[in-house]
Every structure is written in C-alpha cells, then in structure tokens.
Amino acid sequence: MISHRENNTQRIAALDEQAEALRLKRGMGIADARAMYPSVEVVEAEPAVDRSLLESLADWCDRYTPLVAIEGADGLFLDITGCAHLYRGERQMLDDLLVRLFGQGFHTRAGLASTAGAAWAAARFLGAGIVEPGKEEELLAPLPLSALRIEPAVRIGLESVGLRTAGAVMSAPRAPLARRFGKQLLLRLDQALGRIEEAISPRLPVPALSVERQFAEPIMQTEDIKTLTPLLAATLKKDLERRGEGARVLQLALFRVDGAVCRIVIGTSRPLREPSLIGRLFQEKLTAVESDIDAGYGFELVRLSALAVAHFDMQQTDLDGDVGHAGEALAIFADRVRARLGEQAVMKPVPVESHIPERSIIMVPFAEAPGKGDLAKGRQVAPWDLSRPERPFRLFRHPEPVEVAAAEIPEGPPIYFRWRRVIHKVTRSEGPERIAPEWWLEGKDAPTRDYFRVEDGDGRRYWLYRQGLYGASQDTPRWFMHGIFA
C-alpha cells in the first residue's frame, strides 16, 4: 500500500491487487488497516517522483500524438484525432500502447471514446475498451457518480437525495440539479455526452509539421542519427514547399526502447528547408551533445519536427546554382556555430534610440537580430545618421578612467594623459562634441560629456571625454577613455 497524509491522518492513497483482495480501500486510515492486518506493508507516497514519472510517460506518448495532456495525478489524455490510421486503426493503436506499457512494467487502463469524459470513465471503470460514437450515454448510465468527474462534495450531496448513478442524474430534471448542485455538474455531464466540446490543452507546443522513421531494429550510433536526419529533412521539405514556408525552429526527438525520450532543438536565423543545411546543423548539435545522449538499448523511433515556421522568400540563383549573397553564407555560419556552442555564441550589435554611446548599441543573439524598422528588446531601432561625427572602431563597454596632467581650460582637450600606466602626449585633437545626459534616466543634474578625438606622437588615435565642466560645480571634472580608432 501507498500512504499519504490527509488532515493530519495517514490514509491509503493506492493499493495493489493483494491489498484489494483483503477489502482494503483508498481513503482508509493506515491505523485501521494495520489493526486489521498487522503484516501489511506500507510505503510513503512521493508526489514529486510520481509527477516526474507521469511526465516521462507523457513524453513517451508523443509517439502516438502530439496532443498529450496530463490529467490529475495519475492519468493522461491523448487526442488521437487523425493519428489512428498510422497504426491501422484505433483498436491496433490501443493494443500497441497497452502492450508497450506492459513491457515497461506498467499496469495500465485505457479507454477510447469520442469525448474525453467518456474515455476517462471507460478507462477507470471498464479497464480497457472502445466506446462507439453515440454510445456514451449507454456507457455512463450504470456507472457510479465518480465517473462524471465531479467534486466529492457534489457527489455526496447527490447520493444523499438518492441519485447514486450517472443514469439517475441524466434522467433527473436539469433545472433543479443546477440550482442545488451548481452548473459544474451539468457541464461535466454534457462534456461526457458530447453536447459541449471539451478542449484538451497539450503540455507541449504542437509542431507545425513532423516526419518520423520507425525501425525494425533499434539504432544506437550517433552516426546513424546524423545520416538519417537529412533524409527526414528531405521529406519535411516537400511539406514546407507546399506551404511556402521554411523552418525557424527544428526539433529532433529520439524515442528510446525503454520509453525515455531525448529532444534536440536547433534554431535558424532565417527560414530554412534545405535538407543538407538542416543535416549539417544537426550534425553540429549532435557533436556538441553526444556525450549527453544515452542510447540505452537503442532508439526505435526518430522524429523531425518544425516547431516554428515562417514565410520563405524564393531567391534567384546564379549559373552555378548558388544564391551568391554574402548574408546567406554568414547566416549559415552563425547557425552552425550556435548549434555547436549555444545561442549566446554569436551575437550581433543592434542600434537603438539613444545618443549615449554605450547605450546606442545592444547585443542580441544572431537569430533574434531585427532588421531595419524592427523592434529590438522593446526599443525602436535607430536609423544610421551619416551626419554624425566619426566614431571609434572599438568602443569600450565601460569607459575607463584617465589621469589628465594638463588640459586647456575651460573647454579644451588634454595636453598629457595617463591611461593604463602609460603617459601619452596629445599632438592633434578635434572637439569638443558635447553629449548631454538623458535626464529621464540619470536626472536633470547629471553632468554633460565633452568628447575629443585625439592623436598622440606615435599616431595612435583615441576617443576621450570630459565628464562635467570646469567651474560649473565644486567637483573637478573627470576624464575617461571610451574608445580607440583604427
């Protein structure tokens, strides 16, 4: 038996067939059960472990349908609409599911019906079976009120007035039932009978497109998966071409013989549907995570899914069959690096609306970099201003303090400055270029910046700025190095 604590009392949460044969029931106190049978074995429930196991079973059930939802603490809903033909019918699919779960050591009950409520009742009160469309009322009529998935308080109230079966509730007047027991009772009844549609919310996003390959003998080598991926991508390409789309996020799901599922996801910086390129990206990803993939006794099913798609723009190729666009080669290179090293491996600078130099650029992952006029991190992309003064080739993320030995007061450039323990003499300078602070971020009393482009005796050019003005306050202005010109 498995026990759990309820209202400071240990009660039976689940029990096996031997315990049921002793006429022990769920909800009975552990003390009462041990008083009747002192030798009974009791194990404390572990809800977190049970939930993890249920989620792993939900992952495994993705082989039958992408619409898998967790129901309660011990059940799953599978919406197999449009999937049964892949197993030559509903009966064959149900038998395949039960046989595979039995082989993994699970004692499973399953029901199949045109409504979620009827399937739930068939699984829990009939053990296994298929309810024909239109036979839902015939199925539910002799079953107890628990088959309607109603709250315990409502069930106890119905039993107190003599309504002990679902058939008795269905034959009773609806208006008095709604007034006394609430609308939820009639809602559950109508959902089970198919009068009101009941939506099932899948636990994972449903892929736009999927292709898969089953094997008579499980595969175990990563090289076999790398070889198979372009073949699956070639099948996926036909559906993408028919829809005029390309994949932006792809997932490779590896279903192991013992039920474990390994999912590998890659993203692309542009819509993609070329099998060779998709295969190359997954090769990079598989190489990076190869040590984390446990094949166990092998993979019996491999599925390639397009989790996100976008419109695919056809481009004219040259006589060699190449597009000849530098941006395409860069995108492919970035995607391969990201697949091997992660999303943050390749970043792209994006201009935003700010005249403070260190705020005018943000770094975003390559695939998320917007085009002109797009939004970047919630801020509008700023147009490139050709009239703006020259900016350094290398801009420091954080300005570095500089010691100025002498400067032309009040608004001139420095004559000597010390930076990184080296003293530089300024031979040429341009400026100042005054940049006022953003008062809505730093406050109206924040000091201004005067930027200078200076050159030392060795021809090295720097971008310095003075924070504050001489004589404007009691604080002495400070100097900073913000960038280096090529």
pLDDT tens column, 437-462 = 888 888 888 888 999 999 998 999 99
CA separation for the pair 237, 245 (Å, rounded):
9
Going by C-alpha positions, the residue among 326, 460, 471 that lies closest to residue 393 is: 460
Please answer whether residues 221 and 298 qualify as being in contact, where contact means their C-beta atoms are separated by less than 8 angstroms.
Answer: no
State the DSSP H helix or E strand holding residue 479, giving kind and residue range, or none if neither. Answer: strand 478-484
Which tens digits make up the pLDDT trace of 164-219?
999 999 999 999 999 999 999 999 999 999 999 988 889 888 899 999 999 989 99
Residue closest to 371 by CA, chosen among 221, 270, 278, 477: 270
pTM greater than 0.85 (yes/no): no
Contact 206/66 with Cβ under 8 angstroms?
yes
Q: How many helices (H) and strands (E) does the chain have?
A: 14, 21
Per-residue pLDDT of the chain (486 residues; tens, 9 = 90+): 888 888 888 888 888 888 888 888 888 888 888 888 888 888 888 889 989 999 999 999 999 999 999 998 889 999 999 888 888 899 999 999 999 999 888 888 899 999 999 999 999 988 768 899 999 999 999 999 999 999 989 999 999 999 999 999 999 999 999 999 999 999 999 999 999 998 888 988 889 999 999 998 999 999 999 999 999 999 999 999 999 999 999 999 999 988 889 999 999 888 999 999 999 999 999 998 888 888 888 999 999 999 999 998 776 555 555 555 556 788 888 888 888 888 888 888 888 888 888 888 888 888 777 654 444 444 444 444 545 678 888 888 889 999 998 777 778 889 999 999 999 999 999 989 999 888 888 888 888 899 999 999 899 999 999 998 877 777 788 999 999 997
Q: What is the DSSP string of 219-272?
A: E--HHHHHHHHHHHHHHHHHHHHHHTEEEEEEEEEEEETTS-EEEEEEEEEEEE
From the list 305, 469, 471, 226, the residue with the least C-alpha distance to 479 is 469
Phi/psi of residue 222, nearest 5 degrees: -65, -30
